[in-house]
Amino acid sequence: MGKQMQGDNQRRRALARQSRQRGTPADRPWPYPDIPTGQPGTETATVPVIRYRELVQGVGRRTGEDFPDARSGAEATVRALAAALLEPDRELLLDAVPAELHGTGAGQVSRRRDLAGFLAEVARLCRRTPEQARYQAQATLAALAEQDPELVAALDLPADLADLRSPLPVGADGPAPGGGTAPLPGPELALALAALPYWSVQEHALVRSIELPPDNLDRVLQRLARIKPETGRGPSIGRPAAGSAVLTVRTRRGAGITALDVALAHQVDAAIDEAGAGMI
């Protein structure tokens, strides 16, 4: 089995190399390799087809995100990884991953082959923290391996990035230590809440209510709406009345309060202070 897998990996690398040597078709940014037809008396290996929606859904199952957020993280990982890989591995990756995740025309990507730099690039592309970016990268590689394990095994990752192949199971509580998406234990949560006097815990989420004159509240909510584009995460905003709003922060529904939730709550407080509104 090991020799067969090695042979398949070598075959796929050769196909990517041949594709690169032929040149790029005008209507596609990266070429597809020819799949040779089998000759009489020979067997032709079948290369798995990675399906776009299944891949993004696989990322979302591992990160607890909805489809758009999971897609953003998967695209950022694919783009940063393609930049980090050398040929023919870059072609091997891009020929296998659906074109929807190539980010064609979405701007330049820096080649970062060290772990910290790679995660910083993923974080920049999908507007997340480096800790969240590591989780996204692991989830994306795990989802790729679920559909095409030989592809992930064949990629010659830079030594610093090899640990990103570590399996990330579906429904994992959080990333590696320091990732920030595992629920906080009781004592840590109590300390965190002590520093967030305007927030309370309701149904595994942090919740803050605001009551202000409508014009002031509009100004505050406009500032809060910019948090997600700036950082990759933002509060859910409900407005039960013209002069009141309810802010909700949660990492995953039913998963408990996380360090990322606490950090976002502090960002929300700072944004409210920046907007210059008094609290009632």
Structural domains of the chain sorted by starting position, each given as residue range(s) with its CATH number in brackets: 2-165 (1.10.490.110), 186-275 (3.30.1360.20)
Residue 168 confidence (pLDDT): 58
Rounded Cα–Cα distance for residues 131 and 241 (Å): 37
Classify 250 in phi/psi space as left (phi over 0), alpha (psi -120 to 50) or beta.
beta
Concatenating the DSSP letter of every residue in 96-130 gives HS-GGGS-TTS-------SHHHHHHHHHHHHT--H
**For position 16, what pLDDT does the model report?**
53
CA 245, 246, 250, 254 torsion-angle sign: negative
CA neighbor of 54 nearest in space, from 126, 147, 182? 147
Residue 41 region, left (φ>0) first, then alpha (ψ -120 to 50), else beta?
Answer: left
Secondary structure letter of residue 165 according to DSSP: G
pLDDT at residue 156 in the model:
93
Q: Is the preceding peptide bond at 229 cis, omega within 30 degrees of 0?
A: no
Whether pTM > 0.85 for this model: the answer is: no
Which residues of the chain fall short of a pLDDT of 50?
1-2, 5, 17, 19-45, 171-180, 277-280
